[in-house]
């Protein structure tokens, strides 16, 4: 069946004005990344801000992990003093420091992220290369749709406090009640219990204590509650830290790799192979809001999504040698049998689960008969604005999560916030 075209459904299309993971005004200062001993130099600056990642999560102040499922609440990144962190990095070479950039101005604040995924927890031996269980992003979700499903599974479970049932990671056991033995500034981070000297355990280090002193939340739970700057910082930090966790050996020769260029690259340790420089892998993906001649939106439910009521728009990875517009048309045809005509760009944002860059489009359908593939896409249907609103109110449909680009694409079509 050929669509009855009354007007161009893309005529009033506009670029997406806001995307939660595409924010911030930080200056990457790319030209500084090759400076010798740059990280230690920056950490010695009182204006340095240090944020932490662990297992694909970001650290927030204790108690804020409970806020991820609430509307209209604010969250912020937990920070550590740079001078203390410099000493910790010398203690733990397995920690990865990443210079995210600077904001200039009078304060000249610079931001450094430190990934502590491989730092042994309290009571553990220092096992080279060890990682905590449940590292987000280390295992592929399989498809773009699979990653989107994880964002909506069990509400915002991916953004809950570490250690909660259904949370994304586990906290170490809490410390005991502190005594008053230490009164110095360095003891502000110490919650160890005094024990007889003959049985005293080693004093936990600053980075070890950070595991339990802070809450750890998923980027999808944090970004909707953060200001633009910190959402941008968290996105860059998580993207880089997941890459460092996933790629531990050179993909060319198999030799171990070391962080390079202030955390934005890796250097192969194989001198015989030229100590090649490696850069983060980015996996381009398209996501398309498909509308017909009556300005109805095509929504679909995919097999990878755990919530049976989650409906979103078409998405998929770009094939090798394929342009973006062709990828939009191919994915829609493969998943729903719909043929697309004109395609317009809406915007993009990173989606580091584990390494996607989501590029959003709006497309005009030149056919309207839906034939789902039955394997990746289970069901798909056209909806008007009134029909979609009624389905949301009745609970028969659930919108994509607040950190997803899909949500803002649907809002652009709907004409209001969800």
pLDDT of residue 121: 84
For the CA atoms of the chain, what is the radius of gyration? 24
Half-sphere exposure of 360 (CA within 13 A, CB side): 26
pLDDT of residue 9: 76
Domains located in the chain, CATH noted: 26-121+204-246 (no CATH), 283-414 (3.90.79.10)
CA distance 62 to 81: 17
State the DSSP code for 153: T
pLDDT of residue 170: 39
pLDDT of residue 6: 57
* Burial per residue of 16-36, b for 16 or more beta-carbon CB atoms within 10 angstroms, e otherwise: beebbbbbbebeebeebbeee
> Nearest to residue 370, comparing CAs of 334, 409, 330, 407?
334
pLDDT of residue 10: 82
In the sheet with 257-260, reading across from the earlier edge strand, the strands are 257-260, 265-268, 277-278
pLDDT of residue 190: 37
State the DSSP code for 318: P
> Number of H helices and number of E strands within the chain?
9, 15
* Burial per residue of 333-354, b for 16 or more beta-carbon CB atoms within 10 angstroms, e otherwise: bebbbbebeebbebbbbbbbbb
Whole-number Cα distances in Å, 124 to 70, 121, 411: 35, 5, 48
pLDDT of residue 286: 97
pLDDT of residue 157: 42
CA distance 315 to 327: 9
> 118, 207 in Cβ contact below 8 A?
no
CA distance 26 to 259: 22
> 354, 241 in Cβ contact below 8 A?
no
CA distance 193 to 181: 9
Angle between helices 206-213 and 82-91 (to 10 degrees): 110
> Nearest to residue 158, comparing CAs of 307, 287, 321, 311?
307
Q: Which residues of the chain have a pLDDT value below 70? A: 1-7, 106, 123-201
* pTM greater than the 0.85 cutoff: no
CA distance 269 to 254: 10
> Nearest to residue 402, comparing CAs of 65, 144, 20?
20
Distance from chain centroid for Cα 88: 25
């Amino acid at each position: 069946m050929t669509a009855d075209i009354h007007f161009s459904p893309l005529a009033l299309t506009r670029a997406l004005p806001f995307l939660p993971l595409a924010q911030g005004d930080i200056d990457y200062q790319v030209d500084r990344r090759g400076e010798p001993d740059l990280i230690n130099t920056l950490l010695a600056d009182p204006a340095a801000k240090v944020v932490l990642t662990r297992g694909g999560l970001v650290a927030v102040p204790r108690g804020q992990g409970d806020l991820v499922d609430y509307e209209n609440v604010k969250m912020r990144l937990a920070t550590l003093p740079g001078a203390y962190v410099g000493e910790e990095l010398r203690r733990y070479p397995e920690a990865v420091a990443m210079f995210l950039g600077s904001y200039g101005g009078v304060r000249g604040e610079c931001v450094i992220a430190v990934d502590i995924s491989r730092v042994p927890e309290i009571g553990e031996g220092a096992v080279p290369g060890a990682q905590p269980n449940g590292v987000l992003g280390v295992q592929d979700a399989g498809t773009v749709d699979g990653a989107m499903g994880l964002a909506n599974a069990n509400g915002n479970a991916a953004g809950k406090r570490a250690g909660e049932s259904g949370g994304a990671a586990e906290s170490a056991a809490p410390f005991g009640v502190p005594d008053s033995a230490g009164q110095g500034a360095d003891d502000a981070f110490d919650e160890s219990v005094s024990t007889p000297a003959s049985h005293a355990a080693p004093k936990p280090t600053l980075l070890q204590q950070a595991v339990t002193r802070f809450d750890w939340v998923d980027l999808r739970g944090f970004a909707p509650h953060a200001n633009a700057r910190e959402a941008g910082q968290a996105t860059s930090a998580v993207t880089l830290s997941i890459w460092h966790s996933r790629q531990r050996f050179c993909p060319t020769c198999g030799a171990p790799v070391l962080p390079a260029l202030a955390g934005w690259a890796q250097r192969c340790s194989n001198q015989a192979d030229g100590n090649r420089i490696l850069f983060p892998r980015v996996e381009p993906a398209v996501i398309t809001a498909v509308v017909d001649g009556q300005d109805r939106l095509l929504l679909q439910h995919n097999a990878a999504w755990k919530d049976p009521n989650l409906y979103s728009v078409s998405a998929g990875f770009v094939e090798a040698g394929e342009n973006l517009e062709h990828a939009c048309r191919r994915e829609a045809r493969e998943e729903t049998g719909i043929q697309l005509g004109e395609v317009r760009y809406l915007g993009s944002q990173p989606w580091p689960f584990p390494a996607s860059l989501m590029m959003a489009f709006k497309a005009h359908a030149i056919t309207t008969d839906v034939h789902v593939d039955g394997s990746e896409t289970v069901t798909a249907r056209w909806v008007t604005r009134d029909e979609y609103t009624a389905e949301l109110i009745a609970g028969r449909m659930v919108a994509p999560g607040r950190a997803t680009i899909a949500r803002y694409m649907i809002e652009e079509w709907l004409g209001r916030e969800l």
